[in-house]
Amino acid sequence: MRNFPDASARYTKVAVTLHWLIAALVVAQLILGWWMIDIPKQPVGARAFWFNLHKSIGMTIALLVLLRIAWRFRHPAPPLPASVPAWQRRFAAASHALLYACLLGMPMVGFLGSTFSGYPIKYFGITLPPWGYKSDPLKDFFSAVHLGFAWVFMTLIALHTGAALKHLLINRDAVFWRMWPRIARDNERSTPDTRAMNL
C-alpha cells in the first residue's frame, strides 16, 4: 500500500517539474556524452553537431539548476518523516549538496574546456561571444576535470536512485512520493486548501 505524504510534506509543483526535467536532461546528457566520444573526427560535421548539442544541453541544465536553487531559497524542502534516522538525514543533505555541485560544476568546466579549445561555442546554433583563447594545456585540464565530474556524478546518481528505491520498496514510507507527481487518487484526498499549498 502506498504511504502518500500530506500536501504540506510534498515538494511544490515547480520543484517537482524542475527535478524531473533536469533528471531527464542529465540522463540524456550522460548517454550522449559517452557515445559521442567515439564519433570519428573526420568528417568534422557530424562530430561538431553532436558536441555542440551536448554543450547546449549542458548550459540548459545549468540554467535550470540555478532556477531550481533560486526557487528552493524561497520554498524550503519539506521536512523528512520523523522515522528517518539522523545519520540518513545528514547523508541526504550531503549527497544533495554534492549533486548540486556536479550539476553546476560539470557544465562550468565543460564550458571552460570548450572556451580554450579554440572552437566557437554555440547554444542551439547561436554562436556565443568569444572571450577566451586557444590553449591545449587548459583545454586538456578542464576536459580531465569534466571527466572526473562525470564519474563522481554517476556514482551520486546511483546512490540517490538507490536511496529513493529503498524508501519506496523497503521502508515503504512517504519519502519517495514527496518528489513524485501527484496522481488522481492523491488529488482526490486533498482539499482545495491543501492543493493550493503545493503551487
Reduced 3-state DSSP string for 181-194 = CCCHHHHHHCCHHH
Instruction: Considering only CA atoms, give the Rg of the chain.
Output: 20
| Weakest mean pLDDT among 26-35, 51-60, 150-159, 165-174 | 165-174
Cell numbers linked to 194: 491543501
Cβ-in-10-Å burial (0-12, 13-18, 19+) of 142 comes to buried
Cβ-in-10-Å burial (0-12, 13-18, 19+) of 25 comes to middle
Helix (H) or strand (E) holding 33: helix 13-36
pLDDT band at 3 (very low <50, low <70, confident <90, very high): low
pLDDT tens across 132-181, in order?
899 999 999 999 999 999 999 999 999 999 999 999 999 888 899 999 98
pLDDT band at 182 (very low <50, low <70, confident <90, very high): confident
Helix residue ranges per DSSP H, 43-85: 44-74
- What is the mean pLDDT of the segment spanning 39-61? 92
Domains in the chain (CATH in brackets) are 7-190 (1.20.950)
pLDDT at 146: 97
Nearest to residue 138, comparing CAs of 111, 105, 106, 112? Answer: 112
Q: What is the pTM of this model?
A: 0.86
pLDDT tens across 98-120, in order?
999 999 999 999 999 999 998 89
- CA 64 centroid distance within chain: 9
Which DSSP symbol is given to 36? H
Do the beta carbons of residue 110 and residue 55 sit within 8 Å?
A: yes
**b vs e for 155-187, b when ≥16 Cβ sit within 10 Å of the residue's Cβ?**
ebbeebeebeeebbeebebbbbbbbbebeeebe
Alpha-carbon gap, residue 149 to 113, rounded angstroms: 13
